[in-house]
Copies of this chain bind each other. A is one copy, B any other.
Amino acid sequence: MDKQQIAERYKTIQDSICSALEVLDGGATFAEELWQREGGGGGRTRIIQQGNVIERGGVNFSAVHGVLPEPVKKAFTVRDEEFFATGVSIVIHPHNPFVPIIHMNIRYFELNENIRWFGGGIDLTPHYVQLGDASFFHQALKAVCDRYSPVFYPDFKAHADRYFFIKHRQETRGIGGVFYDRLTPEKTGVAWSDIFEFSCALGNEFVPIYAELVNRNRDKAFTEQHKQWQYLRRGRYVEFNLVYDAGTKFGLETNGRIESILMSLPPQAQWVYDFKPSPGSDEAFTLSMLRQGVDWLTY
């Protein structure tokens, strides 16, 4: 498969995820903006807002190419090179605080047509950790991973734990998931075509996973207090994305399309000085579970 084929497949994944999310939501539809990148390529930003389930979500596709931007060259310690990057990235912020925030990203990167790799992942940020949902989520990811390599799930789960970590809070962003980067046959013993198929399988698993989590929780009643907690957790999401997220940093430093990059931020967020949930509350339980190294499969 070549880069054009990869981009085409990712595009169809964006299409099928958008159609399915519209059905799942049952209220709102996606609005699309096509954009072009000065220097080469472009993308399709798709935003869904004020739906029955989804308060705001973005499902973006891009395929960009050109000369590597200066800050990236430094990070990779390479000289002038032609790059190509394509991917699909998703963030969904639901209305109901019992429905989790979800994030997915699958991407392919090529440098000078000889260095290349796949990256991506799916991670879940429940406002309220519910062990049954967490276990379902990780089992579904493990099932996809296991079809390609027995080390994928444990490796990528551990990577997600390290990556989705808010160091200054000593909290994970949510219950993690899988995260992988710079995946090559040399590193994994898995053929290029299978690594590619793995990334597509992950993309295709997004809807069944999220649909199940939405349907389990979409009709749960919630109070103003639950909403307040949701806004605080969204505040943490903002902190992670602006302080640590590599994709966001990359986008901001390389003059990416700002509205597409920051669509990951929630519709609204709150910060309460030194908030501490009452002992024994659902909020305290959630906080106690936001740590690295939890084996979610066992719940």
Of A20-28, A149-157, A256-264, the one contacting chain B is A256-264
Chain A contributes a number of interface residues (CB within 8 A of B) equal to 31
Binary interface profile of A, 224-255, with partner B (CB < 8 Å = 1, else 0)?
00000001000100110011000000001001
Output the least CB separation between A243 and chain B (Å). 5
At the interface, yes or no: A158 with Cβ under 8 Å from chain B?
no
Output the least CB separation between A66 and chain B (Å). 19
**Given A242-B242, A243-B242, A243-B252 in contact, is the A273-B47 Cβ separation under 8 Å?**
yes
At the interface, yes or no: A267 with Cβ under 8 Å from chain B?
yes
CA A81 to CA B53, docked complex, whole Å: 55
At the interface, yes or no: A49 with Cβ under 8 Å from chain B?
yes
CA A168 to CA B261, docked complex, whole Å: 10
Question: Would you list which residues of chain A between 45 and 86 have a CB under 8 Å from chain B?
Answer: 47, 49, 56, 58
Output the least CB separation between A222 and chain B (Å). 18
Query: 16 pairs across A/B with beta carbons < 8 Å?
Result: A33-B274, A49-B273, A56-B273, A58-B273, A168-B255, A169-B258, A231-B268, A235-B265, A238-B242, A239-B262, A259-B274, A263-B273, A265-B271, A267-B270, A267-B271, A269-B269
Interface positions of A (Cβ within 8 A of B): 33, 47, 49, 56, 58, 167-169, 231, 235, 238-239, 242-243, 252, 255, 258-259, 261-263, 265-274
Apart from A263-B273, A268-B268, what 12 extra A-B contacts exist at CB < 8 Å?
A33-B274, A168-B255, A235-B265, A242-B243, A243-B252, A259-B273, A259-B274, A262-B271, A265-B271, A267-B270, A267-B271, A269-B269
